[in-house]
Structure 1
Amino acid sequence: MSLIGENDVRGETAVFKEISAEDDDMQPTVIESLCMNCYENGSTRLLLTRIPFFKEIIISSFTCPHCNWTNTEIQSAGRIQDQGVTYTLRVRSKEDLNREVVKADSATTRIPELDFEIPAYTQKGSLSTIEGLIERAAAGLEQEQPIRQATAPEVAEKIDKFIEKLKKLKDVEQEFTLVIDDPSGNSFVENPNAPQKDEALSISHFKRTPEQDARLGLKADDDTEEDNAEKPGNDMNTLRNEVLMFNTNCPECNAPASTNMKLVQIPHFKEVIIMATNCDSCGHRTNEVKSGGATEDLGTKITLHLTDPSDMSRDLLKSETCSVLIPELEFELGMAAVGGKFTTLEGLLKDIKHLIVSRNPFICGDSATPGRAEKIQLFGKKIDQVISGERDVHIILDDPAGNSYMQNVYAPDPDPEMTVEKYERTFEQNEDLGLNDMKTDNYQ
């Protein structure tokens, strides 16, 4: 049975709806299911919805009326991401315990202060809060305590003491750290200060190891460089002069789609790879830009002072490792938030507004919190003022990989309103780019 109806193909009805008490169609799908506890028939409720600043998910809840057994799970409705993700949250107050968390079943959860870890694949995926994660971990440890008290009293006593320490975390008498490490990239921790930067939360992306790819069921590419060298049409001159096409799946509906790819030379910069995907099934379109060269020796920080509305027409390349800052709005967009883009400054600002304002389902209905909707809408108006030239701001592109670019309209002369700084990357930035473990000397 397909979850996508005829209206979905035309774009009239969304499969993943925004949560709202006023939407009559926002009802879960109920399916009769077998209870694995008493083997009688129960019911499973499925709800397809969105997480703000994140992606689509499927929430399922099972209830058995015969034995009163219940179970809830969450599954990502998207594909496995290109990179894994690590969220590190510094829990400083009880308000932090209310942050929403999407924990995929492939994620590992750690609390370093207690030397505590929940390994991957030992729990089902869940949509909860920080407090809910702690309670679930304590309940999991308490489950086998009666058996341990009968067979291994000393072990049971130690676990009781540890459970007390775990439950005391909910009082937040001292700060502690929560780390969620997910190779699939499908876990998420809420930023309640969005669209501003969250000082207590750090997000880093990493390249998966072959072992992690194997556990996620991903295949490695068997083609070698020698094989590619023998295939006709793979030289760089041929790639520059033609558009390559390969088959893929749509990121929205997972239907077969095609992706076009072409090498483009940016004046006064370097070559980039532009990729565009069109889906004939649901009409979804997406484009992405990747650097065609290597990671630069130095990071690049580009600062542009907007003094005229004509600045909106400047071409820019934002790589997937580049963050965007607008100090006057106290706004920071982390790397990989909107992917790599080759667009204009106006196009980038509109993408930021669409991401923060239009795609945020938590500003309407029962899911809205007091003041959040007004805060988000006010930010959208400020972006409009920047685009129209009514607001004097600075746009900063900070790319540790050095693969981002903004057009100099005075080229080859210096641009009086734009500065380009080169800087040495920190150890943490090299770690995020995967350079610390990369060895190229004496390689055999």
Structure 2
Amino acid sequence: MANQLIKPPNNFTKSLKNLYFIASNLQSMTTSKRVQDRSQKKRVHALEVAVEKHKIASKILFLLELLKHEPEQIIPIRSLDQHRRPLNLPKPHKISDFIRKSPKLFELYKDQKGITWVGLTKKGEELIEEEERLIAENEEKAVEHVTRLLMMSVEKTLPLDKIAHFRRDLGLPYDFRKHWVHKYPEIFRVFKNEDEIEFLKLVSWNPNWCVTEVEKKVLGITKADDYTPGVLSLPFPMKFPPDYKKVYRYKGQIENFQKREYLSPYADAKELKAGSVEFDKRAIAVMHEVLSFMNEKRLVTDHLTHFRREFVMPQKLMRILLKHFGIFYVSERGKRFSVFLTEAYEGSELIEKCPLVVWKEKVVSLTGYRGRKKKIETFDDFDDLEDDDLFESDSDDEKTIRIDQEDDMMSSDVEDELIPECSEMDISEVQKAYTEK
């Protein structure tokens, strides 16, 4: 009995195969290609520099705005602890060390009780006043862009909280939800749904504003009082970095893709079938239009994906952004990804800068910054480097580089020391994107 072979059940082999199939699929899901797994050869050096400039600026602008809305524009340092997350200043770093990097914008002092406070310098106050003036001057354009976002949405409504994600990118005032939106009752109005969530609803349709930016650029259309959005077959502007040396091999496929018809972002898309070529190409048109509205022609990608349902865009939006990187460029630096409209940039600089972008650059130019030289093995390594460098000591150690107003604010040093260059970029995914049927 001890030596008797035990016969497996009839379905044993089949069960074993099923288990193997399940295990294989689980492995493929856990090892599937992520955005971070892209080869360095697919990264655009100049636009990665632009991302780093934005990260530095966002911290400073957050603190400026925080102080702006304090009663006397001062706040105890210890009260800033609750804002570590939006400032992205992790412990054990001292917030006071971060503030000391920008003495032209912020000042620290102690009161009679020994409590340390932070306030704005005279220059900081002037910059806040300048921004308010520029936002007021930009109001007409901001109204247009908010209206066009509503015109693209399937229900012609958008949650105010989601619009708030675009506030600074669109040049909207800080308190736009309380006052600004009520100034234009003939264009849009605010209402609450059954869950008490505030929405902005389109009141009147403007034919002039449903002409896409691509139509304006390719066809030269400026006004169209009787325009009705429909099917388009216009090419999207594309820009590949010089390192994409083999693009010419796929010129035919790219041209075929560009000639495919697609539905205007302002036309009714309810009948489009998800996953179809028409559905995906319209999504590209929507993303192109939204990015065109933004002051810096770039967005944090999760702000864009928040609008998938409202703008009738695919679930795997990131995949489309990555596949069409002649139109868009996605940077995976840090905890949040950014997407650029490539046509709007020359190197790391915007080709056309609105006054609010010029203002932001002025603010950054008054900010002190240090970057510690170290070998960057992967782009994930930069995450720790970025935040740590805001707290480096002020000693003139040979291992540190200083980037400030006198050193042409983070132009050469950031580019040369922190971001690896690549000789040639892999474009295999370009071919895949444009040969789809």
What's the TM-score once normalised by structure 1's chain length? 0.27
Greater helix percent: which structure?
2
Bigger RCO of structures 1 and 2 (CA < 8 A, at least 6 apart): 2
Between structures 1 and 2, the one with greater strand share: 1
